[in-house]
């Protein structure tokens, strides 16, 4: 009875190492560098063993996306439920590692159709969650939902964070540090306004 459990644990550990290696390659060399040979070499195995766990590279990409998106959905839910939801959301959205990986996955979508539906479903799920919370909390910040609809606020937060990280990762001199600092100040000001309004 104990052996199958050990076998499953060993298999899961190998699978995790392969996904970790693929993620690291993607972050440092780009999604195009994620090949069965590169991932296998990073893990220290032969490429055919990689295909035992992931029959195709598309399967590897989809598994990587699902693993990352599950974490991101959990983190986004926690951020939106925190005492300072906009600040927590901005910190999460502008995190260079997570956003850079998502940026690479978005680039891969253009060349790997298997990822397209997966990325679309994750994006819809996260946006629905964001908009539902924003519907409730925008008045707390003194923002009129008719003037600043949840869809606009969500797209602005995510879009700005994605653009900043893309420029950072690419090394472009686009004053992204100033934009990041200004956005952080704006969000902090909104959180102070919310705290005052809720204290009344």
Give per-residue pLDDT as tens, 131-143.
999 999 999 999 9
Q: How confident is the model at residue 3 (pLDDT cuts 50, 70, 90)?
A: low
Question: pTM value?
Answer: 0.79
Domains of the chain: total? 2
Res 71: pLDDT = 86
Read off the CATH number of the domain in which 12 is found.
1.10.10.60
| Domain, as residue range, for 158 | 59-199
The DSSP secondary structure of the chain, one letter per residue, reads: -HHHHHHHHHHHHHHHHHHHHHHHHHHHH-GGG--HHHHHHHHTS-HHHHHHH-SSHHHHHHHHHHHHHHHHHHHHHHHHTSSSHHHHHHHHHT-HHHHHHHHHHHHHHTT-HHHHHHHHHHHHHHHHHHHHHHHHHGGGGT--TTTS-HHHHHHHHHHHHHHHHHHHHHT--S-HHHHHHHHHHHHHHHHHHHHHHHH-
Is the pLDDT reported for residue 1 higher than 50? no
Same domain for 1 and 87? no
Same domain for 65 and 145? yes
pLDDT: is 93 or 169 the higher one?
93
Q: How confident is the model at residue 69 (pLDDT cuts 50, 70, 90)?
A: confident
Answer whether 105's CB lies under 8 Å from 166's CB: no
Q: How confident is the model at residue 182 (pLDDT cuts 50, 70, 90)?
A: very high
- Cα separation, 84 vs 87, in Å, equals 6
Res 49: pLDDT = 92
């Amino acid at each position: 009875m104990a052996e199958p459990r050990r076998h499953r644990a060993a298999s899961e550990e190998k699978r995790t190492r392969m996904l970790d290696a693929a993620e690291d390659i993607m972050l440092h060399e780009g999604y195009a560098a994620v090949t069965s040979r590169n991932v296998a070499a990073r893990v220290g195995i032969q490429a055919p063993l990689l295909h035992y766990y992931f029959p195709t590279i598309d399967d590897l990409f989809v598994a990587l996306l699902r693993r990352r998106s599950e974490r991101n959905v959990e983190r986004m839910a926690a951020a939106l439920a925190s005492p300072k939801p906009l600040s927590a959301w901005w910190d999460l959205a502008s995190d260079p590692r997570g956003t850079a990986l998502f940026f690479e996955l978005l680039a891969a979508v253009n060349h790997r159709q298997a990822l397209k539906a997966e990325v679309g479903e994750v994006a819809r799920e996260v946006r629905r969650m964001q908009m539902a919370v924003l519907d409730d909390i925008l008045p707390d910040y003194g923002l009129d939902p008719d003037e600043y609809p949840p869809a606009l606020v969500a797209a602005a937060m995510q879009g700005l964070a994605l653009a900043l990280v893309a420029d950072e990762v690419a090394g472009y001199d686009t004053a992204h540090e100033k934009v990041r600092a200004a956005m952080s100040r704006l969000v902090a000001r909104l959180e102070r306004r919310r705290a005052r309004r809720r204290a009344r």
